Chains A and B, each alone.
Chain A
Amino acid sequence: MIGRLTAARAEPGPLLPLEVEGLVVEAGGRRLLDGLSFTLRPQRCTVILGPNGAGKSLLLRVLHGLVPPDRGVLRWPEPDPDRRRLGQAFVFQKPVLLRRSVRGDLAVALAARGVPRRERPARIAEALALVGLRGFERRAARSLSGGEQQRLALARAWALRPQLLFLDEPTASLDPAATRMVEAIVRDLAARGVTIVASTHDLGQARRLAQDILFLHAGRLLDRGPAEAFFERPASPEARAFLAGELPA
């Protein structure tokens, strides 16, 4: 049905590098993101690390265009916001799955992005194979286990062929086995050239996945750069305390 409402759209140009300058988001008189400046490099896995309430999820939403910033500039190489959206996908901490079958859920996403009807079955089959959910096509999407739901959300994201994939705490509510599977999929997508930007408060996950780190604390960007350097020589006392596993007062 929605296939008729959305015409096929032109492919976006390269989305990265993205230069962010002086990003500010405020709410209720509080600065939730306070003057962030950084560059997202292409074909890297950037992990936004920090404690709960640091502003990680909010930053992902601002980058993806779900929340408008109050101040600051996001300099994208692709000027058209609609085309930029076509090159991105977002996986939420709690996967948002439609009240229909696994296949139906993926089909809606593909139709929304203007993927021609004849191409959809192959895309769906390939995406489900990537995340190990072949044979689940007719199952109700919301009846899957937590780990399977997150893998389905990743399959849906991959089916859209994004240049840039945002992952908001993708394993926050998963057990170690499901976490391992999700991380393997993320590495697989990165190997296929997808630029990953993931938020987490899990140090182990950051060490396993990150090539670049953005360390957020109370809405401020206190540390950024290659992951190895960050883990060896964190620049801020807050990052040192976080790496040492110290509980905040």
Chain B
Amino acid sequence: MGEIGEAAATALRLLWSADPELFAIVALSLEVSLTATALAAAIGLPLGALLALARFPGRGALVLLVDAGMGLPPVVVGLLVYLLLSRAGPLGELGLLFTPTAMVIAQTILVTPIVAALARRAVADLLEDYHEHLTSLGLRPLAAVPVLLFDARYRLATACLAGFGRAAAEVGAILIVGGNIRDHTRTMTTAIALETSKGALEQALALGFVLILVVLAVNLAAAGLSTMARRIEG
């Protein structure tokens, strides 16, 4: 217990002294996770809306696939992206393996189903509520999309936050495709895994504190959004 206390104190000193390596790791983590979340939102939000609104052959299977995708094992996704980007793989010529771009790709694959599935549920719930009113107004389905997306805005934002939370805390996939290379692809989670295995608990704990702060901030933002939604939506 004493060792942990000492490690925590050292961690706080590291944070306080603005250790450049520590901050580079934090910055890269945020950059990768935010980029992956933005890409996942760009794909997942329209996909979720489409699955909620459109009726086409194979829709049921796609909904099932997206819902199941929420539980994708990160190490398996990491392995698949590794095979895709490795020198012998179909995209090997791009030379992306062990780069932040590879990490973004892996996290985007992990986060997109979360955003799409939550967005689909948000829009579908709203459509159930609004359907007769919008039909009564004579709004065609295409014209109803902006109304539904705007009115689902808080739940869609929460879906993106949930995706970011997953990305920020993820380690398995980015460890495989990023390689945890110092000053290049080392993020908070991969560094924590490495430092812990080396016995460097101070560094690991300092990163752990920052990670917990990020996750707390995301949760606070989600809670704030739902409070705001309750106040505005009644």
A residues near B (Cβ < 8 Å) are: 1-2, 5-6, 61, 64, 66, 82, 85-86, 88-90, 92, 96-100, 108-109, 112-113, 140-144
Instruction: Give the distance to chain B from A196, nearest Cβ to Cβ, in Å.
Output: 16
A96 near B130: Cβ-Cβ < 8 Å: yes
Given A2-B146, A112-B139, CB of A99 within 8 Å of CB of B133:
no
Residues of B within 8 A of A6 (CB): 139-140, 143
Within 8 A of A (CB), among B126-181: 126, 129-130, 132-140, 142-143, 146-147, 150-152
Residues of B within 8 A of A143 (CB): 231-234
Within 8 A of A (CB), among B85-136: 126, 129-130, 132-136
Q: How far is the CA of A98 from the CA of B144 in the complex (A)?
A: 12
Instruction: Give the distance to chain A from B130, nearest Cβ to Cβ, in Å.
Output: 6
Known: A108-B137, A112-B138, A112-B139. 6 other contacts (CB 8 A): A66-B136, A97-B234, A98-B151, A100-B232, A140-B234, A144-B234
B residues near A (Cβ < 8 Å) are: 126, 129-130, 132-140, 142-143, 146-147, 150-152, 229, 231-234
Instruction: Give the distance to chain A from B152, nearest Cβ to Cβ, in Å.
Output: 8
Q: How far is the CA of A143 from the CA of B234 in the complex (A)?
A: 4
Residues of B within 8 A of A5 (CB): 142-143, 146
B137 near A98: Cβ-Cβ < 8 Å: no
Instruction: Give the distance to chain B from A71, nearest Cβ to Cβ, in Å.
Output: 22
Residues of A within 8 A of B137 (CB): 108-109, 112-113
Instruction: Give the distance to chain B from A70, nearest Cβ to Cβ, in Å.
Output: 19
A82 near B133: Cβ-Cβ < 8 Å: no
Q: Which of A2, A86, A88, A96 contacts B133 (CB 8 A)?
A: A96
Residues of B within 8 A of A144 (CB): 234
A142 near B234: Cβ-Cβ < 8 Å: yes
Q: How far is the CA of A88 from the CA of B142 in the complex (A)?
A: 21
Instruction: Give the distance to chain A from B226, nearest Cβ to Cβ, in Å.
Output: 13
Q: How far is the CA of A144 from the CA of B233 in the complex (A)?
A: 10
Residues of A within 8 A of B132 (CB): 61, 66, 90, 92, 96
Q: How far is the CA of A82 from the CA of B139 in the complex (A)?
A: 10
Instruction: Output the nearest chain B residue to A84 by Cβ-Cβ distance.
Output: B138
23 contacts between A and B (CB under 8 A): A1-B146, A1-B150, A2-B146, A2-B147, A5-B142, A5-B143, A61-B132, A66-B135, A82-B138, A85-B138, A88-B136, A96-B129, A97-B234, A98-B130, A99-B234, A100-B150, A108-B137, A112-B137, A112-B143, A140-B234, A142-B234, A143-B232, A143-B234
A140 near B143: Cβ-Cβ < 8 Å: no
Instruction: Give the distance to chain B from A98, nearest Cβ to Cβ, in Å.
Output: 6
Residues of B within 8 A of A98 (CB): 130, 147, 151
Q: How far is the CA of A221 from the CA of B129 in the complex (A)?
A: 30
Q: How far is the CA of A26 from the CA of B232 in the complex (A)?
A: 41
Instruction: Output the nearest chain B residue to A166 by Cβ-Cβ distance.
Output: B136
A140 near B233: Cβ-Cβ < 8 Å: yes
B139 near A141: Cβ-Cβ < 8 Å: no
B138 near A113: Cβ-Cβ < 8 Å: yes
Instruction: Output the nearest chain B residue to A61 by Cβ-Cβ distance.
Output: B132
Q: How far is the CA of A96 from the CA of B130 in the complex (A)?
A: 7
Residues of B within 8 A of A142 (CB): 233-234
Q: Which of A2, A66, A92, A100 contacts B143 (CB 8 A)?
A: A2
Residues of B within 8 A of A66 (CB): 132, 135-136
Instruction: Output the nearest chain B residue to A144 by Cβ-Cβ distance.
Output: B234
Q: How far is the CA of A109 from the CA of B134 in the complex (A)?
A: 8
Instruction: Output the nearest chain B residue to A160 by Cβ-Cβ distance.
Output: B137
Q: How far is the CA of A7 from the CA of B159 in the complex (A)?
A: 33
Instruction: Give the distance to chain A from B231, nearest Cβ to Cβ, in Å.
Output: 7
